[in-house]
Amino acid sequence: MDDAFWMNRAIIEAQNALDEDEVPVGCVIVHNNRIIGRGYNQIESLQDPTAHAEIIAITAAAEHLGSRRLEGCALYVTLEPCVMCCGAMVLARIDRLVFGARDPKAGAALTLYNIPADTRLNHRIEIVEGIYADECGNMLSEFFRRLRTNKTVN
């Protein structure tokens, strides 16, 4: 199975977020060709600013492995991670980060910062970008377009 296969699974998680009127970001963590953690944004439903898809998936993967170290794992997420999520990935020792769309406002993996590759930190993460970037970006654009439309109607 390749990056496109796993990113498709992350898109399914993003759809779960969309179904709950959350910003449609989805994430899966893969270890030995198996999903061991999954998550989607739940910031609004949980009223928790840390309830990002990546954080939820990292927590599930750590529980699955019984370890805070997620060595040998790849994290697939539909949107470039923020500073918090990139920091959590470094602390968890994730090996690979694969993301769909760049985030021009908060992207901390390549766009605004490059935390996963920062040599000042004690762990570096391989980064692959652009897998299903259009699909991931379109899902986000449509969500925010709908949100703006609904706000003007009310």
pLDDT in tens, 40-96: 999 999 999 999 999 999 999 999 999 999 999 999 999 999 999 999 999 999 999
Question: In the predicted model, is pLDDT for residue 154 greater than 50?
Answer: no
Catalytic one of 13, 54, 71, 80 = 54
Question: In the predicted model, is pLDDT for residue 153 greater than 80?
Answer: no
**Cβ-contact 100, 7 below 8 angstroms:** yes
CB within 8 A of 75, min separation 6: which ones? Answer: 27, 28, 29, 30, 54, 57, 58, 89, 94, 96, 97, 98
pLDDT in tens, 104-137: 999 999 999 999 999 999 999 999 999 999 999 9
Instruction: Give the pair of three-digit tokens for residue 1.
Output: 């199975």
54 is catalytic: yes
CA pair distance 10, 7, nearest whole angstrom: 5
